[in-house]
Amino acid sequence: MTPDEQLRILMQGAVRVISEDELRLLLEQGRPLRVKLGVDPTAPDIHLGHAVVLRKLRQFQDLGHQAVLIIGDFTAMIGDPSGRSATRPPLTPEEIAANARTYAEQVFKIVRREGSEMRWNSEWLGKLSVEDMIRLASKMTVARMLERDDFRDRFRGGSPISLHELLYPLLQGYDSVAVQADVEIGGTDQTFNLLVGRDLQRDAGQKGQVTMVMPLLEGTDGIRKMSKSLGNHIGVADDPEEMYGKVMSLSDELMDRYDELLGAGAGGRRDGVAKERHPMEAKKSLAGELVTQFHGEEAATRAAQVFEMRHQRRTPHAPPVIRLGAEDDEVWICKLMRDVGFAPSTSEARRLVAQGAVRVDGKRVNVEFRFRRGVNRLLEVGRRRLAEVVFEDRG
């Protein structure tokens, strides 16, 4: 593939590239580029917002370039202040280590493990002496730091800015020096940090990295960027039925945005086909694609069936209804399974539940679960036994 053809593909979906001409020159060298993406393990799971930049990294891989994934176990102790209106509470080393293990597992659901270079930035940042930190801090002025929107707004509003937060962009930038990145990818909220890395590389005698800025994905509320702390996220580790259902709950307007950034047509390959389809069909298609990517085709098919049965109960394919007595307030799941023939005995029902073969509303339950009056539930036992559980009305 020619450099111009690669450039056309890589530019798709990017908000800004600094600079396109420099990226073209790098591609014309005909060597694998070192493409850096840094993630701080500040939460146990990654979500579809992370997937936007991870997919771009995978795109570079597919074109023959080297993915350099930085797990920010050292910088996570500070916490990225980008876009925040308050100092982030610090994490313990144990929390960071646990989160980092999860990140590493989930990232490779998108990025190819083979050919990826995964590094922990404690490798080099943990070795910096006080003298090294002073020299690094001398590369940046307070005035330059206050050019960042979040720092400037907090300063003007009288909100505290801790000194360690001012070190964050320098430490992230130093990562680029350590791994000699040719390109770094990040979201729009990372633009300042990416440019710091470019400057530090030049100061160290390296060629400044090309910075590729990707759009931020809005959360399911359609307003704020996707964040687990805001409760508007779709996690890549969500259960298949939960992931499918969350995508189906998106507004039609937000659906176009998700399809553009996450669907098989991300980057323009679908050429607007999604917008020509009925919104419900477009959502089903995207939900199926995402569940397949993270859980497999069989799980996607099952999630679609559960959604259909749960939300389109007036169709001929609606599940049978189990009606509980008007005198009941709650019913133990194992007793119910025995009574309706989903298990020959309560002990067998217990075994099925313990094995994870029983789900209520798409989620596995434990042997203590009870159906309670006031909420209709969808009960699944294995792949073939499905029923809606409802309580009869009282008088």
- pLDDT for 311 equals 66
270 compared with 193, residue with greater pLDDT: 193
Q: Name 327's Cβ contacts closer than 8 Å, sequence gap at least 6.
A: none
- pLDDT for 261 equals 87
What residue type is 317 in one-letter code? H
pLDDT in tens, 175-184: 999 999 999 9
Q: What percent of the chain has pLDDT over 70?
A: 90
pLDDT in tens, 25-72: 999 999 999 999 998 887 777 889 889 999 999 999 999 999 999 988
pLDDT in tens, 294-325: 889 888 888 888 787 766 554 445 667 888 88
Q: Where are the alpha helices (DSSP H) in 312-387?
A: 333-339, 346-354
Q: CB 201: neighbour CB atoms within 10 A?
A: 21
The CA distances from residue 316 to 241, 320, 323, 379, 387, in Å, are 21, 11, 19, 18, 14
- Range 190-215 average pLDDT: 93
pLDDT in tens, 335-362: 999 988 898 899 999 999 998 889 887 7
- Range 236-255 average pLDDT: 85
Say what the alpha-carbon torsion angle 340, 346, 350, 356 is, to the nearest 10 degrees.
-10
Rounded CA separation 172/177 (Å): 9
Residue 374 pLDDT greater than 80, yes or no: no
Across 206-210, 227-231, 290-294, least confident range: 227-231
- Range 233-246 average pLDDT: 87
Residue 271 pLDDT greater than 70, yes or no: no
323 compared with 263, residue with greater pLDDT: 323
Q: CB 265: neighbour CB atoms within 10 A?
A: 17
Across 50-54, 209-213, 275-279, least confident range: 275-279
Q: Among residues 82, 130, 121, 84, which one has the least CA distance to residue 100?
A: 121
Rounded CA separation 90/69 (Å): 23
Q: Among residues 382, 383, 350, 355, which one has the least CA distance to residue 369?
A: 350
Across 4-8, 124-128, 157-161, least confident range: 157-161
pLDDT grade, residue 274 (50/70/90)?
very low
- pLDDT for 85 equals 47
pLDDT in tens, 69-121: 998 888 887 766 655 545 556 677 888 888 878 887 888 889 998 889 999 99
Instruction: Judge whether 207 and 176 are in contact, CB under 8 Å.
Output: no
Instruction: Judge whether 128 and 122 are in contact, CB under 8 Å.
Output: no
Q: Among residues 100, 104, 103, which one has the least CA distance to residue 77?
A: 100
Q: Does domain 321-391 correspond to CATH entry 3.10.290.10?
A: yes
Tokens (6 digits) for 369: 């679960």
- Range 195-200 average pLDDT: 92
Q: What is the mean pLDDT of the chain?
A: 85
In the block, tokens 């979201």 appear at: 187
What residue type is 242 in one-letter code? E
**Domain assignments of the chain as residue spans, ordered by start:** 3-214, 240-311, 321-391
- pLDDT for 266 equals 46
| DSSP code at position 188 | G
What residue type is 67 in one-letter code? A
252 compared with 87, residue with greater pLDDT: 252
What residue type is 297 in one-letter code? E
Q: Does domain 3-214 correspond to CATH entry 3.40.50.620?
A: yes
- pLDDT for 56 equals 94
Across 42-46, 142-146, 230-234, 247-251, least confident range: 42-46
Across 38-42, 217-221, 383-387, least confident range: 383-387
